[in-house]
A and B are shown apart, each in its own frame.
Chain A
Amino acid sequence: MTAAVIEETPLPSGTSRRWVQRLWKNRNGKTGLVVLFVLVVAALAAAFGLLPYDPLEAHQKDALTGPSAEYLFGTDQFGRDVLSRLATGVLASLRIALLSVLMATLVGGLAGVAAGFFGGWVDRVAGRLADVVFAFPAILLALAIITALGRGWLITSVAIAVVYTPIFFRVARGPVLSVREADFVKAGRVLGYGSLRLLLKHVLPNVAAPIIIQIALALSWAILTESTLSFLGLGTQPPDPSLGLMVNEGRTLFTQAWWLLVMPSSAIVLAVVGLNLLGDGVRDVLDPRRRG
């Protein structure tokens, strides 16, 4: 024991970790969470068969009925319930968005972290690959992949994942470059830590914030891209409902049945805006420079 004096006692810890609570206090974050909640509830209802009607069941006598107590969002030209179809479409969109963002995060994020940390040829090869993918317009690349590989929700997910992988690569690589040079990483080397330990325990947690923010934003883009692909007829195939497909079908009947276009379009807008707000909220909460 030494005679040295303590100049400060530590504050109670753990306040910085409850970021979900702080997200709820953030206006953008709260809106985003509410929207996400609505979408997830709709998707879960579709997944567990809790919808008012079977989304594929035609009620010919009720074709093109406007919104009413019986059919909340109206029916389409075959008398199918728009609300049920919408919820099923949300389920399809969310499933593809989640899967594609998961793949893009894993592949792009890990490649970016490795490239930034190890540098050298790993960085150069991965960086050039990312540049090549980046060089193609997103929708065009996704279209090309679907055309080459065939249709189905798995392939649609892969196509969207490929498009967004380079974004995750860059988002992950940048902060790693600066964290790699931080004194605590150098200190780790001095203490005899191996590269894997440094990478997983010291570098990765310190670059997690931008990646998490990117995930929230990429989810909204993925929903938009999936809707676009379905709208163009390359995503989900009829008769399965999908937001993009419903917009495309509703387009032709807009003058007779506005709800066929408005309902799925609003759902897309809601999902994209909501997830964007969620991304902003997460950024506000995680970015130390924006903390109040």
Chain B
Amino acid sequence: MSQVNEPVLSVRDLRTVIHTATGDAEVVKGVSFDVARGETLALVGESGCGKSTTVLSVMDLHPRPTVEITGGQVVFEGVDLVKATEQQRRSVRGAGMAMVYQDPMTSLNPLMRVGDQIGEVVLAHGGSAEEARRRVGEVLEQVGIADPGRAARAYPHEFSGGMRQRVVIAMALAMRPRLLIADEPTTALDVTIQQQIIALVRQLQADNGMAVIWITHDLGVVARVADRIAIMYSGHIVEEGPSRRVFSRPEHPYTDGLIASIPRPTGSERPPLRLIPGSPPDPSHVFAGCPFVPRCPQAVDLCSEQLPPITERGSSSARCWVPPEKWTAPRSGGVSQQVAQ
């Protein structure tokens, strides 16, 4: 079982800058995280916090030349992709790591049969036609599509949203990737279908030990899928830890606020839904201190003067000056995973 803890992907101090007409904005400000084999890391945060840019940088798909990686390492199976050649990176994309998108309605080519689209992945990575055909049947079966032969001959418009998302996942699986990046794959789906897709990804993970990075802003989904959680705010990972621990004992006031804003329909009384006042800062704004200060109920003077370092606290780590035992404002008190579900 030693393999379980070996990181498939190891990101160190990744920095990504967007060049705009009004100046440069650093949207990923030194992000570090690991994803181990068979593990699911949830990357959580509000829109514009840098989670998508982080992942696009990992995949080397940031739109150039407006977005540029200015520092750090992205080590995938021992190879630093930031320094790798385009050839190396292309062979990693699709084969080593694959991605599932948010909207299954637009992530398939409407004019190609489903089977051809899946097979093309194999062909593009040097597989034979025979191999491609065989793999199409295998992955369609893996993602739970009955009658794979018939499905392979169909066009994407003949499928419903949930079925298309299965096809997109099948495409991602075609080259047996070691890392699957899921960019809000359930956001565009009905809640019941969401469940099925989550169950499917977990099942696939259990079957072949794939690592998964699950990007989402939905804490309810996080509670169901994640082994570990990384909370992003304004280009920083502000808290990272095992899923259960983060939900029950948040170490950062932002995490605490996010958890407090989950509706709890099961409670005997229904207090007004808590929310975090304000909105995330403009990424081009440079802070001396912690970027969460203007919205933080627990802030002390030090917070606006100096950016807090990442502090290990038990199995979690957080980027905050004020440990939870010194918080003065009311807090969520944490939540068990059962409640979040």
Contact = CB atoms under 8 A, between A and B. Distances in A.
A36 to B, nearest CB: 26
* Shortest Cβ-Cβ A-B pairs, 6 listed: A192-B94, A191-B94, A4-B144, A10-B154, A183-B107, A192-B93
Contact of A2 (B92, B95, B112, B143): B143
A194 B166 CA distance: 24
A273 to B, nearest CB: 32
B107 A184 contact: yes
A155 B172 CA distance: 52
Contacts of A69: none
Given A7-B196, A184-B108, 4 more contacts: A2-B143, A4-B144, A10-B158, A184-B106
B157 to A, nearest CB: 8
B163 A2 contact: no
Interface stretch (A21-29, A201-209, A263-271): A201-209
A13 B149 CA distance: 13
A6 interface: yes
A212 to B, nearest CB: 13
A9 B147 contact: yes
Interface residues of B, number: 51
Interface string B130-165: 000000000001111111001101110011101100
Interface of B: 59, 61, 90-95, 98-99, 101, 103, 106-113, 120-121, 124-125, 141-147, 150-151, 153-155, 158-160, 162-163, 166, 168, 171-172, 193, 196, 199-200, 203-204
Contacts of B193: 7
A1 B113 contact: no
A11 interface: yes
Contact of A190 (B93, B146, B151): B93
B101 A187 contact: yes
Interface string A197-226: 100011001100000000000000000000
Contacts of B93: 189-192
Given A4-B200, A13-B155, A190 B94 contact: yes
Interface in A1-57: 1-11, 13, 16
B163 A7 contact: yes
29 contacts: A2-B199, A2-B204, A3-B203, A4-B143, A4-B144, A4-B196, A4-B199, A4-B203, A6-B163, A9-B146, A9-B150, A10-B150, A10-B154, A10-B159, A13-B154, A16-B155, A187-B107, A189-B61, A190-B59, A190-B94, A190-B98, A191-B124, A192-B90, A192-B125, A194-B90, A197-B120, A197-B124, A201-B120, A205-B111
Contacts of B61: 186, 189-190
Contacts of A1: 141-142, 144
B89 to A, nearest CB: 9
A118 interface: no
Contact of A191 (B121, B155, B204): B121
A197 B124 CA distance: 8
Contact of A6 (B103, B121, B146, B199): B146
Contacts of A8: 159-160, 163
Contacts of A189: 61, 93
Contacts of A7: 160, 162-163, 193, 196
A5 B200 CA distance: 10
Task: Identify which of B103, B124, B153, B160 gathers the most chain A CB atoms within 10 Å of its CB.
Answer: B124
Contacts, number: 112
Nearest to A202: B109
B98 A191 contact: yes
A271 B279 CA distance: 63
B95 A192 contact: yes
Contacts of A194: 90, 124
Contact of A187 (B99, B143, B200): B99
Interface string A163-205: 0000000000000000000111011011111100100011001
Contacts of B166: 4
A206 B110 CA distance: 8
Nearest to B195: A4
Contacts of B147: 9
A201 B155 contact: no
A6 B110 contact: no
A6 B144 contact: yes
Nearest to B154: A10
Given A3-B199, A191-B124, A10 B151 contact: yes
Nearest to B199: A4
A7 B159 CA distance: 9
Contacts of B168: 187
Contacts of B203: 2-4
Given A9-B146, A201-B120, A191 B171 contact: yes
A252 to B, nearest CB: 54
Contacts of B153: 13
A244 to B, nearest CB: 40
Nearest to B116: A201
Contacts of A197: 120, 124
Contacts of A10: 150-151, 154, 158-159, 163
Contact of B144 (A2, A182, A191, A193): A2
